[in-house]
Amino acid sequence: MSKESTTARPETRPPALLRTNEVAELLGINPRTVRRLADAGELTRIRLGRRTCRYAPDDVQALIERHVVTPPAGYDRAMRSYLGEPE
């Protein structure tokens, strides 16, 4: 008589998918721009039907991270000088 394992597996749910309008609101852009980003391959679109699509939050975050602009070296010093602040 073998004893079966009764270890409960934790329930894992995939993250909720975002609608076009939700992505647009998060990014502060027009929903049409979200569609253009998806058409250009900048944002992965998940098609659920002929006219229904969603976006994974991780893909939206990756888009944000790819488009972060890092100020050039010396930018802080130049801005302080421009604003008349001591260094």
What is the rounded distance in angstroms from the CA atom of residue 68 to the CA atom of residue 46? 24
- What pLDDT, on a 0 to 100 scale, did the predictor assign at position 85? 78
The structure's pTM equals 0.66
Q: How confident is the model at residue 78 (pLDDT cuts 50, 70, 90)?
A: confident
Higher local confidence (pLDDT), 43 or 76:
43
- Residue 5: pLDDT over 60: no
Residue 29: φ, ψ to 5°: -130, 170
